[in-house]
A and B are shown apart, each in its own frame.
Chain A
Amino acid sequence: MLATVLPVTLVELAFAKGEENFSFAVISDAHIQNVRSGEFVRSWDRGLIRAVAETNLLNPAPDFVVFGGDLAHLGTKAELDHGAQILAALHPKMRFVMGECDYYLDLGEYWSSLFGPAWYSFDHKGVHFVVLNSILTDEQWTHGPWGSDELRMHEMALLDSAHASPFMVGEEQRAWLAADLKGIPRSVPVVVFSHSPLQKIYRGWNFWTEDAEQIQELLKPFDKVDVIYGHVHQIQYNQIGNISFHSVVATAWPLPYPQSYTQAQTYLPKLTVPMNRADPFFERDGTGWQLVNLATGRADIYYNLYNNAPRNVAFNPATGRPEDTTYQAPETRIAPQQHY
């Protein structure tokens, strides 16, 4: 479990072999937005700049940093270039996940020219890591009569678009994943990164992956599986069978849980510990980045939150699910903010 002071203190992790102790950082959902030529939304810039600067101060340094998708807001070259330039200041090696806001303008072409393939796997110190592109959708929608690429991009960028289409990983990647996992011993910890949750939360906002159950099925045989996703701009965690799900927060802005929005009655997974309401003055409140510790082979996540107290979500072996180490018990949850 991570100490709350972890970011720059010297913490000995307790992996099986001393040399295999490691952590990695996750930064996500920067939504770099080009206002006009050469001018970007300052607030989103500052959020990402701060994540990069703080991550660089981590001591010991994380082995690598994952960017969880939506680097750009509307998928343009200018946005992706500007975001890549800010991220270039990071000292550790980077891994990238594709987000829908990176993708639906040119179907990921420029993004891939900067960051490489959108799905891949790698092994690191005894852990098998998988990156999926979970924000694809069916061909018919993708190549529909949009009139322009910009219009298609705008529909997907809208939170509650009536014309968007559910995200999916798709057959091609599922076949690839099945092949990739073949031969990986069941005892090896598996960590999967995706942009959208590989569990179904709320379709209206695309907090959703259409073929989530099929992906979960492929991950079922493993003893320890963590799925880490962006997209939702808030802290969520859940346990389905052997799989622990963790969201990461955005550097750009926070989103509420859809419960606060749905007008018709909708079934939503219950949110274990809701996030504190963000203070609108502190434009960074409700945003931040995270440090993931795999000391136990399960992801223990330290949420470094700007303008707010950090949170820790760690796997509790006694209950077999991730839990907030501070706010889990209802009587110790954060009280509503009162502020003038």
Chain B
Amino acid sequence: MIRLASRLKLRPARAPEIRGRHPGLGLWSMLAIAGFSLAGEPPLGLPPVPVPASNPLSDAKVELGAKLFNEKRFSSTGLVSCSTCHAPDKAFTDSPLQVSAGVHNQDGTRNAPTLANAAYFKRLFWDGRSPDLEDQSRHPLVNPVEMGLRNYDPVLQLVRSDPDYVRMFRDAFAKEPAAVGMTEVKQAIASFERTLVFGDSPFDRWYFGGEQGAMSESAQRGFKVFLEDGRCVSCHTIEEQFALFTDNRFHNIGVGINRIRGELLRLTPELLRAKARGINVDKAVLSDEDTAELGRFALSERFDDLGAFKTPSLRNVAVTPPYMHDGSLGTLRAVVDHYNNGGVTDPTDQVSDYLSGGIRPLHLSEQQIVDLIAFMEALTSPQFAALAPGGSP
């Protein structure tokens, strides 16, 4: 882990254009500043950002990454960029969409996770099929239901010919256009994403900052539920000095898998035969609704991963609905109810045979549920506070 050199005096990137109902420019500059100020100390509640030795951060790379992140010409229709589904003014999600919409408004099968603090994940994507941000960034470009390119040629063509890109790649990598490849494109996007780090929530000020009144009493009681009766902390882990709220593991919590209960005997061997024939798993899980629900099993082929998805962080959870890998739960209340029921959304449903150990009925009282939600609402970073229900604009 490398602590960013404090000599990096990063200036806000040129604000990308944000169209539509959310003027959001002010927000964007604020985010950019918040992210970049990271170059010194990480925000309260977070550890230093892990940066791979093979891709050290620099302001030129980050600035380039921000531009690439907003580049719509990387899609087959010229309308979709990374920021389409990871919009800065929606806390880097496409809330309130249940699943993401790519080129030609095609629906994927997964809910767009926020990029805020994605820098800390040890594996990327809901099923962890990507080992790092660099690798992750290349997949949506060529996925038929995301950005829809046939291959990376249009990307390379653009970054090697557009004068802005030529200059920026020269600044960031000291490479001439002909030498710029996907490696540099991926490294720049990943570098930008490593600046999207957001702590300083009321919880952080209360728990790590010792600020007594930073979090409501209800939220403080909710934290106790989070640690004890709610059993949340076992997967959404916290440490002494910081809290990432994820164990970076994969669990079957009874979401999605129940829909394909009757199909598993057919689906599992089918997928494995298809993999043996060499199908692209990335495309398969995003274009086939049933295959998508197999979760990490599609990668690992281990029963323990059947219907299992990555534990997301809980930071900024109140401003990133809907929830779960398939966006099937609209509110935090629905999420808590699902866990309180022992891994079923409708208490009359049959529990998944493959449910992860640890998921069981919680018998939380109404007051505990209300408090737990208040706690989760106290995990919102100030940069996103305006997005919260009742948040000031």
Residues of A within 8 A of B (CB): 4-5, 7-10, 42-43, 46, 49-50, 52-54, 56-57, 59, 281-285, 304-308, 310, 339-340
In the complex, chain B residues whose CB is within 8 Å of the CB of A306: 304, 357
A8–B272 CB distance below 8 A: yes
B301–A304 CB distance below 8 A: no
A57–B268 CB distance below 8 A: yes
B239, CB-defined interface residue at 8 Å: yes
B284, CB-defined interface residue at 8 Å: no
A57–B304 CB distance below 8 A: no
In the complex, chain A residues whose CB is within 8 Å of the CB of B234: 281-282
B268–A46 CB distance below 8 A: no
B353–A282 CB distance below 8 A: no
For the residues of A in contact with B, the DSSP-based class is loop
A49–B303 CB distance below 8 A: no
B353–A52 CB distance below 8 A: yes
CB distance from A283 to the nearest CB of B (A): 4
A10–B356 CB distance below 8 A: no
A42–B360 CB distance below 8 A: yes
In the complex, chain A residues whose CB is within 8 Å of the CB of B357: 43, 46, 281-285, 306-307
In the complex, chain A residues whose CB is within 8 Å of the CB of B351: 46
The docked-state distance in angstroms from the alpha carbon of A43 to that of B342 is 12
In the complex, chain A residues whose CB is within 8 Å of the CB of B360: 42-43, 283
In the complex, chain B residues whose CB is within 8 Å of the CB of A4: 302
Whether A8 contacts B356 in the complex (CB less than 8 A), given A308-B304, A340-B238, comes out as no
Residues of B within 8 A of A (CB): 231, 234, 237-239, 247, 264-265, 268-269, 272-273, 276, 301-304, 306, 351, 353-358, 360-361
Whether A305 contacts B304 in the complex (CB less than 8 A), given A56-B265, A59-B268, A340-B237, comes out as yes
The docked-state distance in angstroms from the alpha carbon of A284 to that of B353 is 13
B353–A53 CB distance below 8 A: yes
A57–B264 CB distance below 8 A: yes
In the complex, chain B residues whose CB is within 8 Å of the CB of A304: 303-304
In the complex, chain B residues whose CB is within 8 Å of the CB of A285: 357
In the complex, chain B residues whose CB is within 8 Å of the CB of A5: 301-302
A9–B353 CB distance below 8 A: no
Residue of B nearest to A59 (CB): B269
Query: In the complex, given contacts A8-B268, A54-B303, A285-B357, what are 4 additional A-B residue pairs having Cβ atoms less than 8 angstroms apart?
Result: A50-B353, A282-B234, A308-B304, A340-B239
Most buried by A among B234, B302, B303: B303
Give me the 5 closest cross-chain CB pairs, A-B, nearest first. Answer: A284-B357, A53-B353, A281-B234, A283-B357, A282-B357
Whether A49 contacts B353 in the complex (CB less than 8 A), given A8-B301, A9-B301, A54-B303, comes out as yes
Residue of A nearest to B267 (CB): A57
In the complex, chain A residues whose CB is within 8 Å of the CB of B306: 54
The docked-state distance in angstroms from the alpha carbon of A53 to that of B252 is 14
The docked-state distance in angstroms from the alpha carbon of A281 to that of B272 is 31
A307–B304 CB distance below 8 A: yes
In the complex, chain B residues whose CB is within 8 Å of the CB of A305: 304
The docked-state distance in angstroms from the alpha carbon of A229 to that of B23 is 68
A284–B303 CB distance below 8 A: no
Residue of A nearest to B275 (CB): A9
Residue of A nearest to B235 (CB): A281
The docked-state distance in angstroms from the alpha carbon of A306 to that of B304 is 6
Query: What are 19 A-B interface contacts by the 8 Å CB criterion?
Result: A5-B301, A8-B303, A10-B272, A10-B273, A43-B357, A52-B353, A53-B353, A53-B354, A57-B265, A57-B268, A57-B303, A59-B272, A282-B234, A282-B357, A283-B360, A304-B303, A306-B357, A339-B237, A340-B238
In the complex, chain A residues whose CB is within 8 Å of the CB of B265: 56-57
The docked-state distance in angstroms from the alpha carbon of A43 to that of B302 is 21
In the complex, chain A residues whose CB is within 8 Å of the CB of B238: 340
In the complex, chain A residues whose CB is within 8 Å of the CB of B361: 42
In the complex, chain A residues whose CB is within 8 Å of the CB of B356: 282, 284, 307
Residue of B nearest to A285 (CB): B357
B358–A281 CB distance below 8 A: yes
In the complex, chain B residues whose CB is within 8 Å of the CB of A282: 234, 356-358
CB distance from B337 to the nearest CB of A (A): 19
CB distance from B272 to the nearest CB of A (A): 5
Residue of A nearest to B360 (CB): A42
Contact for A283 among B239, B276, B354, B358, CB less than 8 A: B358
CB distance from B291 to the nearest CB of A (A): 14
The docked-state distance in angstroms from the alpha carbon of A308 to that of B308 is 13
Whether A281 contacts B239 in the complex (CB less than 8 A), given A43-B360, A52-B353, A307-B304, comes out as no
Residue of A nearest to B237 (CB): A340
In the complex, chain A residues whose CB is within 8 Å of the CB of B354: 50, 53-54
In the complex, chain B residues whose CB is within 8 Å of the CB of A10: 269, 272-273, 276
CB distance from A122 to the nearest CB of B (A): 27
CB distance from B248 to the nearest CB of A (A): 11
The docked-state distance in angstroms from the alpha carbon of A4 to that of B239 is 33
CB distance from A48 to the nearest CB of B (A): 10
The docked-state distance in angstroms from the alpha carbon of A273 to that of B231 is 31
The docked-state distance in angstroms from the alpha carbon of A54 to that of B265 is 10
CB distance from A88 to the nearest CB of B (A): 14
Residue of B nearest to A340 (CB): B237
CB distance from A8 to the nearest CB of B (A): 5
The docked-state distance in angstroms from the alpha carbon of A232 to that of B272 is 34
A310–B301 CB distance below 8 A: no
Residue of B nearest to A284 (CB): B357
In the complex, chain A residues whose CB is within 8 Å of the CB of B237: 339-340
CB distance from A5 to the nearest CB of B (A): 4
The docked-state distance in angstroms from the alpha carbon of A59 to that of B271 is 12
Contact for A281 among B231, B264, B303, CB less than 8 A: B231
